[in-house]
Amino acid sequence: MSEREPVIVVIGGGFSGAAVAAQLLRRGRPVRVVLVNRFGPIGRGVAYRTRIEAHVLNVPAGGMSALPDDPEHFLRWASSRDPSIRGDTFVSRRVYGEYLEALLREAESAANGTARLERVVGEVRDVEPKGSRFEVVFSDGGRREADRIVLALGNYSPNDPPADGAEFYATERYVRDPWIRGALDVIREGEAVLLLGTGLTMLDIALDLASRGTSLPIRAVSRHGLLPQRHASVGPAPPAPPPGPSRSLRELTRWVRRTARETGDWRAAVGALRGATPAIWQGFTPAERARFLRHLRPWWDVHRHRAAPPTADAVAAMIEHGELRPRAARVVRYEPDAAGVRVHVRPRGSDRIETFFVERVVNCTGPSSDVRRVGDPLLDALLSRGLMTPDPNRLGVEVTEECALVGANGEPSRSLYLVGPLLKARFWEATAVPELRQHAKAVAQRLLG
């Protein structure tokens, strides 16, 4: 870089963007950080702008610090506001959004003018190389120069599941992304609803809809009908197998099954792999990765991405009282009319078709990571310029171990970096705070030395 103050543009104002910006400010180096958020306050993102108190974090407060070198940072902040919060408390996601805003204010204050933060609200639609620098192009035509760029991209709206009558997805009876603010407001009191997917998103949306007076029972379908496991207190985690290519998928599966039998808890076995998972994932052959995604991923997800006890207990009560009916089935056809939609589903393991009528269908299948399909103008521009390479398994994009983008020519960028869920293609574990905060710190170190 030149001797002038470098400009680093961080695109994305959710957790990843706030964490990267805070790390840059805290390094004590002259730098101007431009943090770009599409809308609303910085630090909210999709996950933390909810106003519903029942939407809580899926990790206890003791594990939610945004700073890897200060693991109790969030706990201190939260308990100073509410002394009842302990390390094992599952805090509201709304409160965590407030924490991220406070994190940035604290980092700005600590920088003491050495590093500067500029907050910008706008949508970036392109990044144009200009010699050794870039111009960041906004949807309103505005432009900003940058020496380095960090794509702190969050989660994208889910894909529409394949089914006959897919033109139904273009109607107001269908909610593609329930996390878009106001998306669920189209659902009126007393309407019957079908939820597509039975993962963590479904749990939150089912509780939300029940509080709005939706007709009960609420139906939910997914390919396997599996629900996320509940967080539970378990004994010491068993030792993880050594990471790396010495472990094949078959060997790893055998280890998990054996450890689960010995401990009596699948959650402990899956959780024990967390630190070794990136190396294990990178050691898999392409065929092993594809086989894992095709056959084992649903079971991994429900044991690895667990539900907070308050959420799990509330959903279990709904199921017990017949207010929520999750099942293993696949939608095969939609037949919409003026009043709603007739849905035809095939239960898992059966050839028969079941039919029922609902007024609304809500997609709770989880975020899309196929960068070729999400329809983001920025991603489309980066792909067309050859600055980004999609992962063949549609988990995100190709990056180096240092999170630098790999271009279409196979060369890593020296100026474009990524932090966020699209890192899953390389690290597999790249969606939760404990991993993302490490990536944020590593990228900041890389950019400022």
121 and 21 share one domain: yes
What is the mean predicted confidence (pLDDT) over 60-70?
94
Cβ atoms of 32 and 7 closer than 8 Å: yes
**Where would I find the beta strands (DSSP E) of 382-427?**
404-406, 412-418
The domain of 92 spans 7-156+369-448
Tell whether 353 is covered by a domain.
yes
Across the chain, mean pLDDT equals: 91
CA 179 vs. chain centroid, Å, equals: 12
Q: 319 vs 256, which has greater pLDDT?
A: 319
Q: Is the pLDDT of residue 398 over 80?
A: yes
131 and 26 share one domain: yes
376 and 354 share one domain: no
Q: What letter represents residue 308's amino acid?
A: A
Tell whether 294 is covered by a domain.
yes
Instruction: Tell me the per-residue pLDDT of 322-380, one tens digit each, with 9 for 90 and over.
Output: 999 999 999 999 999 999 999 999 999 999 999 999 999 999 999 999 999 999 999 99
Burial 48-68 (b: 16+ CB within 10 A, else e): bbbeeebbbbbbbbbebbbbb
Q: Is the pLDDT of residue 320 over 50?
A: yes
pLDDT score for 2: 44
What is the mean predicted confidence (pLDDT) over 269-276?
82
52 and 133 share one domain: yes
CA 356 vs. chain centroid, Å, equals: 32
Residue 189: burial class (beta carbons within 10 Å; 0-12, 13-18, 19+): exposed
Answer left, alpha or beta for residue 80, where phi above 0 means left and psi between -120 and 50 means alpha: alpha
Residue 100: burial class (beta carbons within 10 Å; 0-12, 13-18, 19+): buried
147 and 78 share one domain: yes
Tell whether 238 is covered by a domain.
no
Q: CA 163 to CA 174: how far, in whole Å?
A: 14
Q: What letter represents residue 1's amino acid?
A: M
Instruction: Tell me the per-residue pLDDT of 147-177, one tens digit each, with 9 for 90 and over.
Output: 999 999 999 999 999 999 999 999 999 999 9
Query: Which of 240, 249, 237 has the alpha carbon at shortest distance from 282?
Result: 249
349 and 322 share one domain: yes
Residue 180: burial class (beta carbons within 10 Å; 0-12, 13-18, 19+): exposed
Report cis status (omega within 30 of 0) of the bond before 178: no
Cβ atoms of 35 and 121 closer than 8 Å: no
346 and 197 share one domain: yes
Min mean pLDDT across 180-184, 211-215, 234-238 is at: 234-238
Tell whether 176 is covered by a domain.
yes
What is the mean predicted confidence (pLDDT) over 308-317?
93
pLDDT score for 362: 98
**Helical pair 93-111 and 15-25, crossing angle rounded to 10 deg:** 20
Instruction: Tell me the per-residue pLDDT of 18-59, one tens digit each, with 9 for 90 and over.
Output: 999 999 999 989 999 999 998 877 766 666 666 676 788 888
Q: CA 35 to CA 32: how far, in whole Å?
A: 10
Residue the block writes with tokens 């630098």: 404
pLDDT score for 138: 97
Tell whether 94 is covered by a domain.
yes
Tell whether 337 is covered by a domain.
yes
Confidence of residue 243 (pLDDT cuts 50, 70, 90): low
Report the number of distinct structural domains present in the chain: 3
Cβ atoms of 154 and 420 closer than 8 Å: yes
Q: 193 vs 250, which has greater pLDDT?
A: 193
Query: Which of 116, 40, 69 has the alpha carbon at shortest distance from 440?
Result: 69
CB atoms within 10 A of CB 148: 23
Find the CATH number of the domain harbouring 71. 3.50.50.60
Q: CA angle, 323 as apex, 226 and 189 as ends, to 5°?
A: 120
293 and 425 share one domain: no
**What is the arrangement of strands in the sheet containing 324-336, beginning at the earlier edge strand?**
174-175, 360-363, 193-196, 218-222, 324-336, 341-347, 354-358
